[in-house]
Structure 1
């Protein structure tokens, strides 16, 4: 029998020994390409830091984290390593861990970074073990500023279409609370002046001040977000543009409309198209991170705009469910599985998690309505680090504040839908600081095992 097995298996083993990269990709690797989509402040960087740290400790230290993750059984993990992802800079996990060590949360992402996380699993089945001694599970991750994400829908618009929509948004809540100074500036501006570099710079700088003010106040739908961070590859100081009142933007003979339409076209071709091709690569599975606390901390209108933003972003990605043949032979990539994730769930008592999950489903309702029937989606609550402890009551939490004091906070019931949230109320976000035992708390982050389990299921 053993001789028979050798005669059957040896030709195949010789194919692998000959260095057939295609054979390895088809049969010895399980590649999971993740797009982790998140707006600014949604927790992408902290999630990446936790994932890399947890999987490293699970593999090298055999730490019993991710207890529900059956698809990466710890006793079968032979080794784990990280490789560069193409020519992208590596994710700065060491710098982020140093920030935590210094009592600071990791800084906001201002440039793109990527990595491949490879987990090698030993085979247990005798036939598979003889033919394929191991399986590599390959995770591909890309981190990028959330401001870039909100700019992608601009690819499908003309300048006038974008200008009119941006202006209309500024006239409504919640942007109207912060756009007053910018609108006064525009109304006083003399558009009979030619669009000289100095005149353009005056408009662009005034508009950028509005964007910065609105961003600081938790506004999610701001375009162009790429104007706000230094990591953008577009020279907004030389080729900047702003939305204009419709009396100007609708006049195709206006030198201002013509100049801004030209700059808008450069923004699309020189920045957004390249950004979409290189950073927002074709992928299989998508994690959409949603920070509900930013909206809850401000107003009901902030959450309504978050719902609108997520709905608009769903047009940016290609969804579907290609089969094995299409994925592996024809190299077709569509997003077949989506996880909507409310981050920082440790900032609420466990008694309020059902309401938080219901609110997440309500806020993502517009996005899920646009998914194809063959696209799977689920909703999850996740904390990349368990920064709080249970309080003295079911509605309380204990935490270390920014000054290093260990205190307790009591919470009011959370609304389970946008409709249930009073228009004039807001729910302050817990200002938790970095605990001294951050590493142990990171390794015990909640919900990551369920999230990975869902994404790894075929």
Structure 2
């Protein structure tokens, strides 16, 4: 046994560190008591994979919670006497730019706001009038809603925490072998010697080839494209922590490429993934996962199966279940409710919404079963955060076809029929599980619409589909 003698400065630093940890613990307990007894705080995490519509969802949700004229199925609507935005509690987290995003959607020539690139937060506070038998015994109370927006690609990274570099490499390469977008990366990998001495130029070249493949795979509709920061690097762009790639032989001698890649992978988990979980994700009470299910169906069976597996992996990152009152007072959080929402329901006629919801329920069945077993409440539904189309029946060759009409990205108004979704979701899921190359019974098309110009009446938020039902599930019981 070896003893290290610390000087006064070393002992002073250790004492300060212990005192700082104790102070943070006490502050956490105080915050938990204040929230539970005086002004409750509901923390909702909003995530989804690319093009799922996170930014539009938050913008429309906040607008419709502030002006509740279009929220008939949100039961607390009549009990809320005021709703107003406040400074967010986390000074180090960027504020969700609600005003700019709403301006983009409601402009004379509306356009979709920029997508989520990093974590942001917004606090919406409610003054709620008590109802029921105790209505006359207490005055209005304040409830805070903290909405945390973060990229779904980062959420997928939480699954890396329990995987070694060798395990992740094997899974990543197996996925790459089944995707045509990986051809250039796999060609670069063939000429790469992981046992060779580490050389930064070679490491950077392979990492860039891997990153290009991930971007192409995401654009093709695939969901599982980890590590997520390779797609959304932010301030980490070009850093060593994002300069590695999976290898077929992940073990190598000291100083080798493989050994350095393994070290950087562990550093990625320690310096990037774990702080995100600790500072943001672990504090969430309710969660909504937005899914572009129609986009995955359009991309084909492989993309649908990839999405199904991704949904199961996403749930493994949650800590679902209820937290007792005592644990809530101590600042402990678990995800009590999870909503899986298929977005862009306005891209299909309402007669197909039930089929889209059934497909969504089938896609997340494995994930829901795990959450339900752990004590969390889950549900699936199809929504449109902002309705961009109107419905129309078109006669084609003597047959009536239910379509949607909207403004396309090139500014033209067009009626669109995406194809009929199957009544039995097994027709989608079975082909996906079997690895089919394409759908046997037809193709399902996707069209991108611009937001439609709107004129909002006083007290009304933007038009939507089932946003009130989503809000009811997520926060209705808390208000």
Q: Common fold, TM-score beyond 0.5? A: yes
Identify if the C-alpha distance between structure 1 residues 127 and 357 changes in structure 2 by more than 3 Å, giving closer, same or farther: closer
Match status 1:43 vs 2:53: yes
Match status 1:292 vs 2:299: no
Give matches, 1:6-25, under 5 Å. 25=35
Aligned match of 1:406: 413
Aligned match of 1:331: 331
Match status 1:435 vs 2:457: no
Identify if the C-alpha distance between structure 1 residues 201 and 379 changes in structure 2 by more than 3 Å, giving closer, same or farther: same
Measure the CA separation in 2 of the matches of 1:216 and 1:338: 26
Contact persistence 1:382–1:447 (CA under 8 A):
yes
- 269-278 vs 93-102, which deviates more? 93-102
Measure the CA separation in 2 of the matches of 1:48 and 1:324: 29
Identify if the C-alpha distance between structure 1 residues 445 and 453 changes in structure 2 by more than 3 Å, giving closer, same or farther: same
Measure the CA separation in 1 of the matches of 2:187 and 2:332: 50
Give matches, 1:218-297, under 5 Å. 218-231=221-234, 233=236, 236-237=239-240, 240-245=243-248, 248-251=249-252, 255-297=256-298
SS of the residue corresponding to residue 385 of structure 1 reads: coil
Q: Deviations over 1:6-62 (max 9, x none)?
A: xxxxxxxxxxxxxx988763344343221223122211111011012122233xxxx
- 380-389 vs 442-451, which deviates more? 442-451
Q: Residue 98 of structure 1 is aligned with which of 83, 88, 103? A: 103
Measure the CA separation in 2 of the matches of 1:429 and 1:399: 13
Measure the CA separation in 1 of the matches of 2:36 and 2:211: 49
Give matches, 1:319-358, under 5 Å. 319-327=320-328, 329-358=329-358
State the 1:81 CA deviation. 2.6
Aligned match of 2:477: 457
Aligned match of 1:80: 84
Measure the CA separation in 2 of the matches of 1:194 and 1:336: 49
List, as ranges, runs of 4+ consecutive aligned residues in structure 1 with deviation greater than 4 Å: 20-24, 124-130, 232-235, 250-254, 438-442
Q: Deviations over 1:405-441 (max 9, x none)?
A: 2221234210245541364234111221121227579
Aligned match of 2:153: 147
Measure the CA separation in 1 of the matches of 2:465 and 2:322: 29
Q: Deviations over 1:189-223 (max 9, x none)?
A: 34454211111111111111111211221211011
Contact persistence 2:403–2:417 (CA under 8 A):
yes
Q: Deviations over 1:121-167 (max 9, x none)?
A: 2346796555x421112111111222212212111111111111111
Contact persistence 1:304–1:418 (CA under 8 A):
no
Measure the CA separation in 2 of the matches of 1:438 and 1:41: 26
The two structures have a TM-score, normalised by structure 1, of 0.86
The two structures have a TM-score, normalised by structure 2, of 0.82
Unaligned runs of 5+ in 2: 1-29, 395-400
Identify if the C-alpha distance between structure 1 residues 263 and 68 changes in structure 2 by more than 3 Å, giving closer, same or farther: same
Aligned match of 1:316: 317
- 416-425 vs 102-111, which deviates more? 416-425
Q: Residue 184 of structure 2 is aligned with which of 181, 184, 209? A: 181
Measure the CA separation in 2 of the matches of 1:293 and 1:81: 33
Contact persistence 1:362–1:417 (CA under 8 A):
no
Contact persistence 2:290–2:340 (CA under 8 A):
yes
Contact persistence 1:28–1:134 (CA under 8 A):
no
Aligned match of 2:202: 199
- 284-293 vs 354-363, which deviates more? 284-293
State the 1:400 CA deviation. 1.3
Aligned match of 2:169: 163
State the 1:323 CA deviation. 2.6
Cα RMSD for the two superposed structures: 2.5
Measure the CA separation in 2 of the matches of 1:47 and 1:330: 31
Unaligned runs of 5+ in 1: 1-19, 59-63
Measure the CA separation in 1 of the matches of 2:155 and 2:202: 29
Measure the CA separation in 2 of the matches of 1:155 and 1:21: 28
State the 1:272 CA deviation. 0.7
Contact persistence 1:37–1:287 (CA under 8 A):
yes
Measure the CA separation in 1 of the matches of 2:213 and 2:35: 49
